Amino acid sequence: MAETMELLTRRATLAPATADPEARTVEVVWSTGAPVRRRDMAGQYIERLSLEPEAVDLSRLGGASVLDAHRQTAVRDVLGSVRSAAVDGKRGTALIQFSARPEVEPVWQDVLAGILRHVSVGYSVEEWVETTENGARVLTAVRWTPHEISLVPTPADPGAHIRMETEMTETTTNPAPPEGQKETRAEANAEIRSIARIAGLDQSWIDGQIDGGADPDTARRAAFEALAKRSAPAIRTEQVRVEMSESQDDPALRARQMGEALYARINPRHELSEPARRYAYSTPVDMAKELLTLRGETTMALSPASLVTRALHTTSDFPIILGDTVGRVLRDAYQAAPSGIRRLGRQTTARDFRAVNKIMLGEAPLLEKLNEHGEIKAGTMAEAREAYKVETWARKIGVTRQVLVNDDLGAFADLARRMGQAAAETEARILVTLLEAGSGNGPTMSDGKTLFHADHGNKAGTGAAISDTTLSAARLALRTQKGIEDRTIRVTPRNLLVPPSLETTAEKWLASIAPATAADVNPFSGSLSLVVEPRLSSATRWYVTADPGEIDGLEFAYLSGAEGPQVESRSGWDVDGVEIRVILDFGAGFIDHRGWFMNAGA
């Protein structure tokens, strides 16, 4: 499983006074560490960022992308890149450069004109420290990593401001203002009013700060103390993002965290990610209640069944919980039930559902001795082509409302495991059906002949049981295979594929023994690996194959970006609960006949 990274964002202000029109660069303040109010299962808390140099890992910010409002769906979302970044204990600054692409030019002109002023930093937190101040929970990020900077329409950091020309002249070489240099009183008062506006503080608080001669740093500390004393949300809630795209308060993101927590209850060996720990002991009813609350729904006096019913029918997020959990359990079962024949193929991906055309190049031309004139002759390589395509396989299952209300995770997990095993079984049957096509001779190749054919030199003339003689014949047939240009190629026998009925016989012929005489030596001990495939229909037919990494043979493909079974979920219409469908985009084909040998057995 890929690890989910919690990426958060903070707003700051662009500093157009530092713009260099020729270099297309500008300096920005991307964080002042201002407090942000958030919420989790334990209730509201205040988040702060430490801007001490040892707390901030800037390794990923240098050279990172400058994005359009955190979008990253296409190259067009990249407006430029970060040339340098620094923190000085009070704020984070950076020099960013804009692209010269025509579509970015209007954005750059708005930056120069001071119309676009605000930026936001996307970041992940590796370590939190929790404290209490004035009765409020405070989580401080003491080890965190900025990942990108974006232009955004509105600010949320009360300490962010447009940097003045005189200030920027100094900070170009020294990020901290020289001792004694102060902002003008008018600038300080303007910033105090901005702090109050974003923090939701009234005019009396503003007057008190101005009358007391407070500077912006003092006002920020006072605003934080006032914020910590009250329980209602005050500071504008900024987004927490997963993979730079989703808010921490986004119910869909929380639903996936809840799904991970449910999975951990089914599989205690799973180590919960930090965001999912808060749901470690939550039941589906608890999760339904929180999702409804986040959506602004009232949950007072609702029974457990009513909570689940309302979550199913008023939000699209609750099914995500179950889909995430089913997906995790399903993939565990899918990976634990591989087929024998799958080991003998090579995995790849397909871009779409059109035919996958595989071109096989012939042997490289042999080198020739140069004549007295030193002329080097050109050589050519022959080629052949085979094709197959990816197709879609799917089934739908239902999780009833009763299972959710009863917190019956045993039945839930059993259903998911069976679907995972079914997905693995589907793949194996596709591969076996392909191998046994053509009455056991395999699929028809591009030359019009079946995979196993006398003309291909990979089929025993007469079926016979496994023995020294028949194994030697199979090995010789593979080692003397000729390529497209009719030259002997390298094919090394590696595997013996048998049905369960021949497993004991095959083990005897591949066993390592201590021979008393040379005649008792087993020539196949250690040279072939035994592969048993229970889905083979013939009780006598057996195969010898080469390593799929050495020569083309059996190949199977998934749709690009959808390797293995994929899970989708929604509130049920046909069932009173949640409908979950499992989709497998999978296809297979034989690319070459030269790496496989078949004996019909006896």
Question: How far apart are alpha carbons 123 and 241 in whole angstroms?
Answer: 8
Backbone φ and ψ of 424, nearest 5°: -65, -40
HEC assignment per residue over 315-382: CCCHHHHHHHHHHHHHHHHHHHCCCCHHHHCEEEEECCCCCEEEEEECCCCCCCCCCCCCCCCCCCCC
The burial class, CB within 10 Å (0-12 / 13-18 / 19+), for 46 is buried
Could you tell me which residues come within 8 angstroms of residue 443 by beta carbon, excluding any fewer than 6 positions away?
434, 437, 450, 451, 589, 590
The β-bridge relationship of strands 118-133 and 6-20 is antiparallel
- Say what the pLDDT of residue 37 is: 77
- Say what the pLDDT of residue 255 is: 74
Given pLDDT bands bounded at 50, 70 and 90, which one contains residue 317? low
pTM: 0.50
Beta bridge partners of 542: 599
- Angle (nearest 5°) at CA 379 between 378 and 384: 145
Is residue 177's pLDDT more than 50? no
Two tokens, residue 254: 């929380």
Domain ranges of the chain: 6-240, 250-297+307-334, 454-514+522-560+589-599
**Who has greater pLDDT, 306 or 575?**
306
What 313-316 contacts at long range (C-beta under 8 Å, 24+ apart), as own/partner pairs, is 313/571, 315/251, 315/291, 316/252, 316/570, 316/571
Question: How far apart are alpha carbons 390 and 374 in whole angstroms?
Answer: 50
Write the pLDDT tens digit of every residue in 88-120.
888 888 889 999 999 999 998 888 888 888 888
Is residue 577's pLDDT more than 70? yes
Is residue 326's pLDDT more than 80? no
Where would I find the beta strands (DSSP E) of 134-166? 136-151
How far is CA 541 from its chain centroid?
A: 42
Write the pLDDT tens digit of every residue in 2-38.
445 555 666 555 546 778 888 888 888 888 888 877 7
The sign of the torsion formed by the CA atoms of 210, 211, 215, 219 equals negative
Chain-wide mean pLDDT for the chain? 78
Question: How far apart are alpha carbons 553 and 531 in whole angstroms?
Answer: 16
CB atoms within 10 A of CB 523: 11
Given pLDDT bands bounded at 50, 70 and 90, which one contains residue 262? confident
Write the pLDDT tens digit of every residue in 360-419.
555 555 566 666 666 655 554 445 567 888 999 988 777 777 777 777 677 667 777 888
Is residue 452's pLDDT more than 90? yes
Q: Are 501 and 466 in contact (CB under 8 A)?
A: no
**Which range, of 16-25, 326-335, 434-443, averages the lowest pLDDT?**
326-335
Packed helices 318-336 and 251-266: angle between N→C axes, nearest 10 degrees: 40
Q: Are 545 and 477 in contact (CB under 8 A)?
A: no
Q: Are 583 and 326 in contact (CB under 8 A)?
A: no
- Say what the pLDDT of residue 61 is: 92
**Who has greater pLDDT, 560 or 188?**
560
Write the pLDDT tens digit of every residue in 185-228.
666 777 777 777 767 777 778 878 877 778 877 887 787 777 66
Is residue 348's pLDDT more than 80? yes
Mean pLDDT of 159-181: 38
**Who has greater pLDDT, 508 or 155?**
508
Mean pLDDT of 231-253: 46
- Say what the pLDDT of residue 544 is: 95
